[in-house]
Amino acid sequence: MRGGQYQVMLLLKCLRNAGHESELLARTGGPLWSAAESAGFAVHAAEVKELWRLSKYATLVHAHDARAHTISAMASRRKFVVSRRVAFPVKRSVASIWKYQRAARYLAVSQFVAEQLLAAGVRQEKIDVVHDGVETPNHLADWQSGGPAIAVDSTDPAKGRSLIEEAARLAGIPVLFTTNLREDLGRASMFVYISQIEGLGSAALLAMSMGIPVVASAVPGLSEAVTDGVSGLIVPNEVSEIAAAMRRILDQPVLAQTLRSNGRSQIADHFTEDHLLRNTLASYEKALAG
């Protein structure tokens, strides 16, 4: 599953724990479908006819991606809200403008994403910034200073794999590109997140929650998740700068420990499950009252 799908699962669990019943519409047989079904949630096909049928009995509909937004605009029989997690600009076609006018509210994953919505003509009073949440481990794991640098295994050309590979070679640090981030972070010396554009960076939040020092790109969304020199190291997308930051983490153990501690504190202050739940419910209440 990708970051957005993990966030859907986390929100479903938080809502259930708070006493709110939810049903999910997802791609049949996909990873989100399987995860939700395994967790005991009612799951249905993400189709127009299903939303039309089920929304009659709902209090509110929450769309989590572009396709869900389109389906909700076409078929929801109740007010609907939309989570916007991606950082690229909103399309300005006639169909897109119509679709964006239909939602009761927008839950932007960062201030940067909120600004993209404003630039597209969405009224400010319809936008709430609702950060991703992360399940925080109960304790800070032992730091594996001799472990590899961990990066996300992605074919997306915007994710900077070649930059990470070159930087790791220059720094003399082994790098592992993973599809099982939570497991592999347990043996990481650092997490390296290089991207050309980012809504927020839930993978960086996960690393911070686990006490893993983060090296991240100096792009707007990531800069909201990671505070340079405090909870991580923010670098331009240049091989030499990335390599230098990676070496600093290994060569300066006091800095590494500071980043680990501050990263956990930043998660506790802004990005917990409780923050996600409270801010989402507040947006739901505004949508229903509007």
What does each of the 290 residues of the chain score in pLDDT, given as a tens digit?
888 999 999 999 999 999 999 999 999 999 999 999 999 999 999 999 999 999 999 999 999 999 999 999 999 999 999 999 998 888 777 778 889 899 999 999 999 999 999 998 999 999 999 999 998 776 666 788 899 999 999 888 888 999 999 999 999 999 999 999 989 999 999 999 999 999 999 999 999 999 999 999 999 999 999 999 999 999 999 999 999 999 999 999 999 999 999 999 999 999 999 999 999 999 999 999 98
* 152 closest CA partner among 193, 202, 95: 193
Secondary structure of residue 151 in the 3-state scheme: strand
Neighbours of 82 (CB within 10 A): 26
Joined together, the tokens standing for residue 176 give 């592992």
Structural domain spans, the chain: 3-133+272-289, 149-270
3-133+272-289 and 149-270, same CATH topology: yes
Query: What is the helix (H) or strand (E) element at residue 128, kind and residue range?
Result: strand 127-129
Enter the CATH code of domain 149-270.
Answer: 3.40.50.2000
CATH 3.30.70.100 fits 3-133+272-289, yes or no: no
